[in-house]
Structure formats: C-alpha cells, structure tokens
Amino acid sequence: MSCLNIISRNFSISTLTRAAIKNVTVVGGGLMGSGIAQISAQSGHNVTIVELNQEVLDKTHKNIQQSLQRVAKKVYKEKPQEGENFVSESLSRISTSTNLADVVQNSDLVLEAIVENLSIKHKLFKSIDDIAPEKTIFASNTSSLSIGEIAAVCKRKDKFAGLHFFNPVPVMKLLEVVRTPETSDETYEKLMAWAKAIGKTAITCKDTPGFVVNRLLVPLMAEAIRMLERGDASPRDIDIAMKLGAGHPMGPIELADYVGHDTNNSIINGWHEKFPENPLFNPLPFLQKLVDEKNWVSRLVKDIIVTRNNFLYNYCFGAEYYYFYFIHIHIC
Ligand SMILES: NC(=O)c1ccc[n+]([C@@H]2O[C@H](COP(=O)([O-])OP(=O)(O)OC[C@H]3O[C@@H](n4cnc5c(N)ncnc54)[C@H](O)[C@@H]3O)[C@@H](O)[C@H]2O)c1
C-alpha cells in the first residue's frame, strides 16, 4: 500500500471517527422516544431525553430500565452478572432534562419523537435552530408529516432528515432514513452510519407520504376497513386471508387495532387533504364513525380505552370481544 493510500485511509478513518454521532438528544420520552433512547444507549451512545416535565421523565426512565432488563434476561440468560452490567452501563449513558436549550449544546443529533402535530414540531425546532452548534443534525421520527415541511422553519435544511423507527423500537430492525432534496450527503452518510451503529437496517427514501412502509400499509388497512364496511368478509377472515394467503405475520385489521384507529384516521384524513386526487387516501366514513363514538365505546371497554381507542373487532363482532380483549391487553 502506498504512503499516500495509508495517509488518505487514516485521514478518512479519523474524519469519520471525529464526525460520528456520539451524543444524541431524544425529544419526547413516550412510546417511540423511550425505545430510541434505549437502543442508542445500549449501543454505546450518550443519550439525553427531553420531556415536558419530571414526572414523565421518571416514567420514561422506569420503562427503559424494565425494557433493558427484559433484553438482558433474554440475551444474557446464562450470564446474569453480564446482564446486570449491560443494564447498568446502558442506563449510565442516559440522562434526562426538561431544558432542551441547555442540552442541545452538546448534541450531535437532536431527534424528536413528540406529538404528531406540525405546529408543535415547528415550535420545537425553531426554538433550537439558532442556538444548537452548527454541526448538530436535526431529525424527526414523524410517521405521516412531510420532513421538508417540518424542516421549513429551520436554516439548517442541509442538516435535517427523517429517521422513521418502528414500534416496538428495540425489536423492529428497520429504520427509514428520509432525505429531503436539501439533506446533504454528509448528513445522510452520518445518519446511515449511526443507524448501523445502533443495530438497525436502514433503507433510504425520498420525502413522500408514508415513506415506504406506511405508504404501502396504510392503504392496505384502509381497504380492509372498506371491505368491512361493504360486508365483503369478517374481520377474522380478512386477517386469516392475509396471514395464510399472503404470508403477513399480522392481518390488516389486527394491525389497524394495534396502531390505533384514531391514528389511522388522522393519517388518512391528513393525506387526503394534501392529495385529494389520490383514491388510496380517500377518507373512511366507517373509521371516522368509530373514532367519533369513542365515548360510547369507552363505556363498554373502559379498561382498554385508556390507551388507544382500538375497538374495531368489538364494534363489528360483539362475540369476538373477549378474544380481542385478551389479545389487546397482551399487546399493550
Ligand atoms: N407510535 C408509533 O407506532 C409510531 C411509529 C413511528 C413513528 N411515530 C411517530 O413518533 C412520534 C411520537 O409518537 P409516540 O407514539 O411515541 O407518541 P407518545 O404520545 O407516546 O409520546 C410523545 C411524547 O412527547 C412528549 N412531548 C410532547 N411535546 C413535547 C415537547 N414539546 N417537548 C418534549 N416532549 C414533548 C409527550 O409528553 C409524550 O411523552 C410521532 O411523531 C409519531 O408519528 C410513532
């Protein structure tokens, strides 16, 4: 190997090492944020979780601890001491804060997993764009909003991308890395390297509605709900058909329940508003009716309704209530 090659190889390694994402700020410690924080910390990154108040942060921390313990029990079955070390070392890399402005000063990456609302996401990024270090990359875990529209309020559009994780984050292998036309190659490459470092398989996608997975899944769930509406088949038969006929691990109705009908409804309505010409995004009156009747259902299934209003099975087939109740409680 020539001297020049050695120098350039060493230079690129040291540039990469210097540039690598090490300090991650996760804004929002809910379902997704806690999973993202966990996998970042367990793969050796320093993580700060930012939430609205200390009470939520305590809950998030406890959830992460329990999730790490579950991983340790599985991975270090024969070596409990190593499992304990894994949990305590991972937790030692996690800190918490309610002051985003403070923690961004030391962040290579600020990834938001807060409520799915464009103006709230705008407020968040706007508040840190001028004060975060120039090198800091901003990312959103949005499922249904446009990354470009979220980034619109920031000057650092070249350092803005989508990082779309899947629920449950510690289990699901995929990460969609979403590039806007303005995301720079350097930002993209750093995010792809980070995705690998946290143990995910990353795919790249343009900033299009639903990216890859939801763009295919949401219309599938929507059509399954239209089938129910037309009375083409029962929820059970639709799910069995897709599991045994198409090899899906979960049927579309079961999946719709898992995601939450409130979420599905707002995604499809949001896409329809933006792309009214696309028939795949047509609103679902049946789903809207279920969402509107939340109070009626909550009286019947009040133990379930506290998490999400998943009640399609129950609504359609009362006899399946106990089956659904059992499944749902165990998923949540
Ligand atoms: N739930 C899913 O399956 C899923 C999958 C992929 C992506 N997403 C996306 O991830 C994001 C979060 O979803 P989730 O299911 O984790 O929601 P969640 O409701 O479980 O958690 C959101 C958290 O953000 C906190 N929060 C809200 N505003 C905040 C702010 N300004 N600063 C700090 N914290 C704030 C809330 O207190 C809450 O704990 C959404 O954009 C959603 O579209 C969700």
- DSSP calls for 31-85: HHHHHHHHHHHHTT-EEEEE-SSHHHHHHHHHHHHHHHHHHHHHHTTT-HHHHHH
Report how far ligand 1's centroid is from the alpha carbon of 152 (Å): 20
Strand partners, 163: 177
Q: Which residue's entry shows tokens 């944020």?
A: 33
Residues 6+ apart with CB under 8 A from 208: 215
Report how far ligand 1's centroid is from the alpha carbon of 263 (Å): 12
User: What phi-psi label fits residue 260: left (phi over 0), alpha (psi between -120 and 50 degrees) or beta?
Assistant: left
* Nearest residue by C-alpha to atom 10 in ligand 1: 113
3-class secondary structure, 228: helix
State residue 314's pLDDT score: 45
Say yes or no: CB of residue 210 within 6 Å of ligand 1.
Answer: no
Say yes or no: CB of residue 142 within 6 Å of ligand 1.
Answer: yes
Helical segments of the chain, H only: 3-19, 31-42, 54-75, 80-92, 100-103, 118-129, 147-151, 185-197, 213-230, 235-240, 246, 252-259, 261-274, 285-292, 294-300, 302-305, 312-316, 321-331
Say yes or no: CB of residue 115 within 6 Å of ligand 1.
Answer: yes
State residue 19's pLDDT score: 64
Q: Among 309, 326, 41, which residue's Cα sits nearest to residue 198? A: 41
* Nearest residue by C-alpha to atom 2 in ligand 1: 167
Sequence ranges of the domains in the chain: 23-206, 213-293
Say yes or no: CB of residue 112 within 6 Å of ligand 1.
Answer: no
State residue 235's pLDDT score: 86
- Residues in the chain with pLDDT < 50? 1-18, 295-332
State residue 30's pLDDT score: 96
Omega before 170 cis (within 30°)? no
State residue 256's pLDDT score: 86
Q: Among 151, 292, 310, 99, which residue's Cα sits nearest to residue 221? A: 310
Instruction: Name which CATH class applies to 23-206.
Output: alpha beta
State residue 257's pLDDT score: 81
Fold of 213-293: N-(1-d-carboxylethyl)-l-norvaline Dehydrogenase; domain 2 (1.10.1040)
State residue 293's pLDDT score: 79
Among 31, 50, 99, 118, name the best residue to mutate to test ligand 1's pocket (greatest count of ligand atoms within 8 A of Cβ): 31
CB 149 within 8 A of CB 178: no
Q: Which ligand 1 atom lies nearest to the CA of residue 165?
A: 6
95 is in an annotated binding site: no
Record the pTM: 0.85
State residue 254's pLDDT score: 86
Q: Which residue's entry shows tokens 């690598």?
A: 20
Residue 149, CA distances (Å) to 16, 43, 122, 268 in order: 30, 31, 9, 18
3-class secondary structure, 114: coil
Say yes or no: CB of residue 50 within 6 Å of ligand 1.
Answer: yes
Among 140, 143, 265, name the best residue to mutate to test ligand 1's pocket (greatest count of ligand atoms within 8 A of Cβ): 143
